[in-house]
Chain A
């Protein structure tokens, strides 16, 4: 016993190191999502508070830039509104009563924390479940898609940015409707890669890319970017398109979280089918 005690005292430096390091590494490699998420909820509110304070200050200097972006966005929305046919026309009264008549709505949010230079980038927004945000909702900016909500606390939420190796988006070519998966190779904040577009169709540099609407996160037709470079995979069966993202992540300030009212219903049905 005494020997053991002496041994412990002698190697106390090493022992303390090993204990603390194991604790630190277990945080890094934590796979159990629940306590992790709980921890996030607590710290996220604290973080959000700090980030909001710095952001209030920084925002002041970008007012004119932000205004011009908002004005162009407004103009685009007005145009779209003018062109859109009345969706509810022709529906009978029963279905309009049971449903709101529209599937998506947009929650305006402010970016309070954002990074573009890491290999996995995340964004923090100043809206949380009190404002109706839930995990897995899509997020779009004034110029294009931004990411997907990951964790939500009372008043804040974190978003997996498009600039993240975990991001996968279903995106199609506006001209031909062929869809593929958008991923981020991690080189530049302006560039992503669209894979799985079949090699037999014609793709041109400058083709517009929009969301496919095949996942519940984004409705059909949100802007994504443009084809920058047309490459084939080694086998030639698929394209590997370099994409210029239309959203400039460096000046991201105002974004919209997309709420899909049919999401639960759709996912429930799909789950039943796959089982």
Chain B
């Protein structure tokens, strides 16, 4: 979902939903990596049944990572993807099913967002390459050294779109990967794998939802299946809630802001692209073992427990004395629906609802007030009751005016505070410097520079001192001038604000908004109605999409901006139903719809021409440049790209002429495919599938439910299938062919239902309620045998804490310094060079390293003795300490770093805070070039 702030808001409001993952790392024994046995119990003290991977959340970070150098070739990229999946598998350890879904052709409603991203990505890519080229020349002309430019072309992240060769290749690689793991990994022995590659239409997460929905609707489904869904999108949370499955967990990378990034030119850490000087690389660690990444920065994973979120919501949404029976499940659905107002991938968010301003809380309050009058819930199984929605909307509309005014006030007081803070900082900074520095021959000099020029000898000191005095007297005014400059600079520090000519806080905002954003007069009632109607359709479409699947592949919101909440008058008759029987685009057609002309190289020759030929009948879809409306935001990537919409009829008409030009391979890539199911040798389904192939069965066969944990679906033999005792060829040169293969694959189709079938949004019969995690509100009142409430950490309520006794601390003290970390190269070697803290982003790297080394190598001898003699000194929970050592990534300051580390540590800390503060409320993170926001 296009709301990066949503998860942040959620995890702050409902902190207990987040659980940090425990990850067992492969051990290194005499240089041989011993993989983790994933068939062992899950170290997170929970067992998951199904793991669903939204693959695009994996492909993007693996193919153009932000925190490490980009992979050098496509093969390396694939291997990185494999490793990432192995990691996830190791953490989650599903026992029944692994479902991998790559984004296929998306519904039309999503296309505009995809278009806007790809148009921008393509431009940013070109700009980055250019800047790199320019800086490279600069650095080299200054005598710096840079690694030779890679021969390969710039990786265009736009190729991660269904229909490209890259995606086709990826599907092949994944099939190989699945076969390999099914044969060789004990943890995979009994699981069923389903791969839904880019040829199957639908967005990845929605294909997963569709699967879950359809499994739930068939009688053999186990209502207590524990699902785990991997992906970073906030909308996965909504989707998970929408399933009404009691056990649903989401796993995602933990977002750590301000991670060091390698320089794009020399791939070293510690400086920006702009500051690259082409210095020789420093050895990282004793044997250069940290060469590719700064130590301890590997992304960690967090779980988001939706059952805990449901507990929170249960408390929050409780409504007494309703005129109709209270049903928590329905209230959850309404909550999900209201979250759409704040933003989603398919509709722009309402101008008055900003998640950072507590829009969801506001909505919930309004909802609770209004629902008494509505006579029922807003939604039912994904169908919207517009009359009731209208009441909510108009209630929001009433406060709209005050929201805008408040926004302005907040904004201004924020700016003022910021300015004051900056001033204060500047003052403090000035106070740190010595007020007087002698210059000329008396200027202080660094130690150890020797007498290179002999000018160090002070000559004629009296005369020089006199001159200095005179100079001071003469230019006495200069000081004043200098500080005058400072003040001036201070004022201009406040970055140029984008001009706001809507002024939502002043009367007449509605007129101005419509005039500026839509170029219509506010009196144009017809047009406004049209916008509202489209938005209402959009709300219905989105909710249906989440609860029932794609209602119409064709529908989209044909404007760039949303109407106001107060415009939602008489909306109940604005929407009837969607057009039935719409079909998704073919993959190559979709590519034509989302790519800019600059990414035309992913398309066949004649198709590409249509994007650039002045005579093309669809040339209007491909502007070179487009207007970008910051819309009150600060950074270009937050703005609204005013791209023209694609006229489907004209696109199809134009493509008709070039269809004959497709090669057979392109035709195959352009076809819509389906899902594939894989099982290993020991899976009960293996023999069954084998029989199907032997019997050469041509018709679809149902999965016998008892063979596969109640998973249902239709099987169909596949011509290019992976079959036992047939060699699986490796698509990647560095990996070997699988000569002894016992896994088998087959086409898989989700259980089919009639078109009119409605998937019920209810908790299934037989589902157990998960044990509570939150402290009950009446805990003090009930008799608990006098025991205090113990908050739950992790999945297991009765988690045993592990204690280390004296002897283990002794052992640790002996063993740790020898086996881990660099040798003790003396205390001083850990101190970064002076000045490193002040040079922009350089400080991060240099400070991080000593911090870590200090941790693993007790430098202070006293620390070492206390290690053995006085273990109680460590009054933190021991197992936490243990976890830290394992991960080598102390996220907080540990007690030892103060001793050997630089004393500026605290300043650094302050720095970071300040940074976060300055970014302003309107920005989530500093703009990153090439930043890709998937979903």
Partners in one complex: no
Residue ranges of A at the interface with B (Cβ–Cβ < 8 Å): none
